[in-house]
Amino acid sequence: MQANRAISVIIPCWHDHAALAALLIRLNGLAQRARQQLQLLVVDAANSPECQGICNQLGAQWFASAPCRGQQLRQGAAQAQHSILWFLHADAQLLGNPLLDVQAVMSNGAVGGFFAFRFAGPSCWQSRVLEQLIGWRNRFGTPYGDQGLFVERSAYLACGQHSPWPLFEEVDLVNNLRGLGDFQRIEHGLLVDPRRWQRDGWWCRSLSNRLLALAHACGVSAFTLARLYQRDQAPTH
């Protein structure tokens, strides 16, 4: 496969303007240093003039969307010009140059992949335990969108794209990608914002997430579960 292929970065957003600006600045800097061609697409569920202004200032394309993360991701993918799609949450934090890691994995023939779950900020024993537990779960279960899923566009379309749901939109996609080919984990390069765990309690937030995932696996509608989740959700995607 061709080295240094261009990447379309798709970022769903919901009012998280400061984090989004920091992420776009970081991506632009990494792309310049690596001479990497990037297309930055922000899909805004809040239809916010402030978000649009940030995108205009920092070289990202801005799109308004319905407040449904699965639809946001599909809408961004439909506007992507490049053959590698990288889906990032607006509050993702990047270490090193993960663009190069994504390139290396995709150049080795993977259909896609994700980043190992690591919390941003100071470490504590709770965060370290959760990172280990989520790492074990990822070996057999689904890595979620906050782990920076990336995928070959042809594989993304072949596997049905994200489900047009507000929650668990990546589950069927990841399962189908694993059935299609090599789906790789990158060990370092992306950090997850810990604020929801810190606000709700490390174990309460994790238990809530697991109960929602169990309910989804048992057939409860993602729309029903999203209404429960939104009671606690911080204003971010």
Q: Which residue reads 């690596």 in tokens?
A: 34
Please give the CATH number for the structural domain made up of 7-229: 3.90.550.10
Any idea where the domains of the chain sit in the sequence? 7-229
Tens-digit pLDDT profile for residues 223-235: 999 988 776 554 4
pLDDT-derived band at 92 (thresholds 50, 70, 90) equals: very high
* pLDDT confidence of residue 233: 54
The phi, psi pair for 114, rounded to 5°, reads -160, 170
**pLDDT reported for residue 182:** 97
pLDDT tens-digit readout, 170-180: 999 999 999 99
pLDDT at 4: 77
**Length of the chain (residues):** 237
Q: Which residue has the tokens 């990032």?
A: 88
The span from the CA of 42 to the CA of 68, in Å, is 14
Residue 30 pLDDT grade (very low, low, confident, very high; cuts 50, 70, 90): very high
What is the pLDDT, as a whole number, of residue 228?
Answer: 82
Q: CA geometry: angle at 169 spanning 158 and 29, to 5°?
A: 85
- What is the pLDDT, as a whole number, of residue 100? 94
Note whether 43 and 12 are within 8 A (CB): yes
* Pairing of β 38-44 and β 61-64: parallel
Task: Report the predicted TM-score, pTM, of the whole model to 2 decimal places.
Answer: 0.94
Q: Give residue-wise pLDDT tens across range 106-162.
A: 999 999 999 999 999 999 999 999 999 999 999 888 999 999 999 999 999 999 999
